[in-house]
């Protein structure tokens, strides 16, 4: 099986991304459908709203958060439902839910940093993942 790997950069905004059928991207279509169904049916148990009807912040009640970081200082929107997309070489292979919706994120820094670190290793910018950062910065 040949997997399409041509370089492609999605348009900046407002235009439709190029798509790639799952099989051409190297995915088993049935297995991909099953993975998407799993993602859709295993939504976060967190409430959609960060506030209870009485105005209490969910984090203070559910997770017993205290301290200055638990104060809400800006606009808060209810979260949307499960959504995601799968890309191969920048091309859209699968999409579900409202992927154009802006949702709030929490404790995401570790995920972003791990992706960036992985890309840096792949690009040769980090030669040894066991070397202390202070030696290479």
Residue corresponding to tokens 């984090």: 59
Domain boundaries, the chain: 1-44+82-98, 47-78, 107-137
pLDDT digits (tens, 9 = 90+) for 87-129: 998 899 999 999 988 887 777 788 888 999 999 999 999 889 8
Query: pTM of this prediction?
Result: 0.65
Give phi and psi for 124, each to the nearest 5. Answer: 80, 10
pLDDT digits (tens, 9 = 90+) for 46-87: 778 877 777 777 766 667 777 776 677 777 788 899 999 999
User: Degrees (nearest 5) of the Cα angle 117, 118, 123?
Assistant: 95
Residues 6+ apart with CB under 8 A from 69: none
H or E stretch including 136?
A: helix 133-136
Tell me the helix, strand and coil percentages in the chain, rounded to 5.
30, 10, 60
Mapped onto helix, strand or coil, the DSSP state of residue 134 is helix
């Amino acid at each position: 099986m040949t997997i399409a790997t041509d370089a492609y950069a999605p348009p900046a905004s407002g235009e439709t991304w190029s798509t790639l059928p799952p099989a051409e991207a190297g995915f088993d279509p049935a297995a991909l459908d099953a993975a998407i169904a799993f993602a859709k049916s295993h939504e976060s148990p967190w409430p959609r709203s960060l506030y209870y009807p009485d105005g209490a912040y969910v984090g203070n009640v559910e997770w017993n958060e205290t301290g200055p970081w638990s104060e809400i200082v800006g606009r808060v929107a209810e979260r949307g439902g499960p959504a995601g997309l799968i890309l191969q070489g920048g091309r859209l292979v699968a999409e579900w839910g409202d992927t154009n919706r802006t949702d709030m994120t929490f404790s995401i820094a570790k995920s972003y940093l791990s992706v960036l670190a992985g890309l840096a290793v792949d690009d040769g910018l980090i030669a040894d993942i066991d070397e202390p950062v202070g030696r290479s910065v």
